[in-house]
Amino acid sequence: MVLIGVVIVIIGFIIRLNPLLVVTLAGLVTGLVAHQSLYSIITQFGQAFTTNRYMAVFIVTLPIIGLLERNGLREQAEHVVSKIKAATTGRILTVYFIIREVAAAVGLTSIGGHAQMVRPLVAPMAEGAAEAKYGEVPEEVRDKIRAHSAAVDNIGVFFGEDVFVAVGAILLMQGFFEQNHIHSDPLKMALWAIPTAIAALIVHAIRLYLLDRSLDRTLGNKASKNTPKKKEA
Amino acid sequence: MFISLEDVYIFLGIITIAGSIYTFLDRKNSRRITSGLFYCLYGVTLLFGKVIPPFYMGLLAIVLVLIAGFGGLKIGSYNEASVEERQNNRKRLGNKLFIPALLIPILTVAGSVGLKGVKIGGTFVLDQTSLTLVSLGAAAFIALIVGLVMTKNKPGTAIKESRRLMESIGWAAVLPQLLATLGTVFTTAGVGTVVSKLVGNVIPTHSLFWVVFAYCIGMALFTMIMGNAFAAFPVMTAGIAVPLLINQFGVNANHVAAIGMFAGYCGTLMTPMGANFNIVPAALLDLKDKYQVIKVQVPTALIILGVNTLLMYLFSL
């Protein structure tokens, strides 16, 4: 019966109701089915909402990022990239992807992030490379490039961070085994994370290479007809 | 300590509430009152989270949901800099624009590595329990000051610009916190034990391969439901990995845990429940399709999930 909340979430997301409504409804119904009082459900809501404020910390970067955008940061990022001949969308994303994963693997997970790196720098550079190569980029292609920019940030940090011994995930796993009286070793857990980390690096780098190829296919013809527009310096 | 996580929340609250004033005054927004109320109340929850009792906090969260859920949020007008203005500014400042932007990651790393355990006069400089977040807060604040000096813009401009970005994210900004509340309710209601029992009933427990398969896929699926691999790990590991893999087959706990957690991360890449990774960035990048980041991630996630299952099986032989 308690699975009804899961069902509500799945259906809600499929029929594309507003996720906030879906999630709240699922929480209320699950709590009621499990015989919790309305008061206690709302109290849990409030408690979790407060303790998880850390998820909103990205807002702290919005004033400076917005200010820099108003002063042309994104245009400058596009401009710099358009002058590098070897730069393609896939290559730029691959470079950022590798930096992100390797940095996370040595414990520097704070290099990167969607609000502070992807929106102001990585996405404009990836878009700028495409514009320099193909001229105007249609909106659906632009959105695809942006989605890929967000994805490299996630994939890089996810599969990199567990290689670092002191990361939260490793501490959580060790704590869990300790509670269950099973011997575990954080250093070995971090070592066992390396094969997957390498696999992710290879698989996603190949996908970024394929992204370049698909951009060539969809936009390449245009570029050969009219030479790419040179942007004013 | 000199700077605590609560101080960062106070700063967040102030910029969000200050931004909402512009929303209330935005005559071009047909829903300016409800939109303004949404951001103002959200700012209040950030600013006063420590003082508001949980029950009232829960009510505030529900009010936010109702405003956003029934169309109370509309994008406003922002007097944005035109392309020409931005190009002129760009030429004026050129590569200097990168300085404040890069200060954020550099100072965040410097703070979280360099100020670890550092005390002045017996007090920690930064909150040691959430060092990275506090470092990010301090870094963004310093970058803001540098940016204001460099561009010679007024602080009000930064607030207005932050409001523009905040409104483009809209309701998605609140979703991660709300999902965390759902996770809490799921846990107290016992959803996890039901799921791990279900999975446990389906698999043939005498086959090492199928147990590994069930554990990895189970981690991914349960993470997709909870939106968080950390919530899935104790449940699935206690339900499948400990009794079957570790106790029955005598497999080493270290690689089961390391690879199992990664299987969970594959799930995170494929679910709207992992909103802070998947939905917020889609909003932040103005994507038309809020699920596009997920769609781009699914192929990589599925391949790596397969790789994880194989690796765990091979290492367990």
Q: What percent of chain A has pLDDT over 70?
A: 94
Best residue in B184, B279, B316 for a mutation probing chain A (most A CBs within 10 Å): B184
- Supply the DSSP string of B130-193, one letter for each residue: THHHHHHHHHHHHHHHHHHHHHT--HHHHHHHHHHHHHHHGGGGTHHHHHHHHHHHHHHHTHHH
Q: What percent of chain A has pLDDT over 90?
A: 59
Phi-psi region of A151 (alpha: psi -120 to 50; beta: other; left: phi over 0): alpha
Closest CA to A53 of B133, B200, B201, B244: B133
- Looking at every residue in chain B, the average pLDDT score rounds to 90
Q: Could you give the CA distance from residue A122 to residue B196 in angstroms, rounded to a whole number?
A: 40
DSSP class of A85: T
Cβ atoms of B193 and B240 closer than 8 Å = no
Q: Could you give the CA distance from residue B201 to residue A82 in angstroms, rounded to a whole number?
A: 57
Closest CA to B284 of B160, B158, B174, B168: B168
Non-local CB neighbours of B194 within 8 Å, separated by 6+ positions:
A2, A3
pLDDT band per the 50, 70, 90 thresholds, residue A233: very low
Q: Nearest chain A residue to B235 by CA: give it.
A: A176
Show residues of chain A in contact with B57, CB under 8 Å.
Answer: 45-47, 49-50
CB contact under 8 A, B188 and A155: no
- Look at residue A222 and tell me whether its pLDDT is greater than 80: no
- Supply the DSSP string of chain B, one letter for each residue: --B-HHHHHHHHHHHHHHHHHHHHT-TT-TTHHHHHHHHHHHHHHHHSTTTS-HHHHHHHHHHHHHHHHTT--------PPPHHHHHHHHHHHGGGGHHHHHHHHHHHHIIIIITTT-EETTEESB-STTHHHHHHHHHHHHHHHHHHHHHT--HHHHHHHHHHHHHHHGGGGTHHHHHHHHHHHHHHHTHHHHHHHHHHHHS-TT-HHHHHHHHHHHHHHHHHHHT-HHHHHHHHIIIIIIIIIIIIS---HHHHHHHHHHHHHHHHTT-TTSHHHHHHHHHHTT-SSTTHHHHHHHHHHHHHHHHHHHHHHHHH-
Considering only the beta carbons, identify the residue of B174, B190, B285 that sits closest to A119. Answer: B285
CA distances (Å), origin A50, targets A55, B10, B134, B260 = 10, 13, 17, 30
Angle at A225 between CA A223 and CA A228, to 5 degrees: 40
Cβ atoms of A82 and A233 closer than 8 Å = no
pLDDT band per the 50, 70, 90 thresholds, residue B115: confident
**Residue B195: what pLDDT?**
79
Instruction: Using a CB–CB cutoff of 8 Å, tell me whether B175 touches chain A.
Output: yes
Q: Could you give the CA distance from residue B282 to residue B275 in angstroms, rounded to a whole number?
A: 10
**Residue B66: what pLDDT?**
95
Q: Nearest chain B residue to A26 by CA: give it.
A: B182
Closest CA to B140 of A133, A110, A141: A110
Strands B119-120 and B123-124: antiparallel
Rg, Å, chain B Cα set: 23
Distance from CA of A211 to the nearest CA of B (A): 11
Average pLDDT over residues B91-99: 89
DSSP class of A87: -
CB contact under 8 A, A18 and B62: no
**Residue B112: what pLDDT?**
84
- The two tokens of residue A3 are 């699975």
Considering only the beta carbons, identify the residue of A75, A154, A200 that sits closest to B86. Answer: A75
Q: Could you give the CA distance from residue B195 to residue B221 in angstroms, rounded to a whole number?
A: 10
Considering only the beta carbons, identify the residue of B80, B225, B284 that sits closest to A119. Answer: B284
- Look at residue A107 and tell me whether its pLDDT is greater than 60: yes
Residue A222 or B183, more confident: B183
CB contact under 8 A, A146 and B285: yes
Q: Nearest chain B residue to A36 by CA: give it.
A: B189
Q: Could you give the CA distance from residue B166 to residue B42 in angstroms, rounded to a whole number?
A: 11
Amino acid at A40: S
**Range of A145-149, B88-92, B189-193 with top mean pLDDT:** A145-149
Q: Could you give the CA distance from residue B73 to residue B190 in angstroms, rounded to a whole number?
A: 35
Non-local CB neighbours of B203 within 8 Å, separated by 6+ positions:
B210, B211, B213, B214, B240
Angle at B126 between CA B123 and CA B131, to 5 degrees: 135
Q: Could you give the CA distance from residue B123 to residue B118 in angstroms, rounded to a whole number?
A: 8
Considering only the beta carbons, identify the residue of B57, B229, B295 that sits closest to A46. Answer: B57
**Residue A100: what pLDDT?**
96
Distance from CA of B118 to the nearest CA of A (A): 19
Question: pLDDT tens across B250-309, in order?
Answer: 999 999 999 999 999 999 999 998 899 999 999 999 999 999 999 999 999 999 999 999
- Look at residue A224 and tell me whether its pLDDT is greater than 60: no
- The two tokens of residue B53 are 């009792």
Q: Nearest chain A residue to B106 by CA: give it.
A: A111
CB contact under 8 A, A56 and B280: no
Q: Could you give the CA distance from residue B189 to residue A33 in angstroms, rounded to a whole number?
A: 8
Instruction: Using a CB–CB cutoff of 8 Å, tell me whether B117 touches chain A.
Output: no
Instruction: Using a CB–CB cutoff of 8 Å, tell me whether B130 touches chain A.
Output: yes
Q: Could you give the CA distance from residue B288 to residue A105 in angstroms, rounded to a whole number?
A: 33
**Residue B43: what pLDDT?**
96
Show residues of chain A in contact with B100, CB under 8 Å.
Answer: 64, 68
**Range of A110-119, A177-186, A194-203 with top mean pLDDT:** A194-203
pLDDT band per the 50, 70, 90 thresholds, residue A221: low
CA distances (Å), origin B172, targets B9, B62, B64, B200, B269 = 18, 15, 12, 35, 17
- Look at residue B190 and tell me whether its pLDDT is greater than 70: yes
Question: pLDDT tens across B116-165, in order?
Answer: 888 888 888 888 878 888 999 999 999 999 999 999 999 999 999 999 99
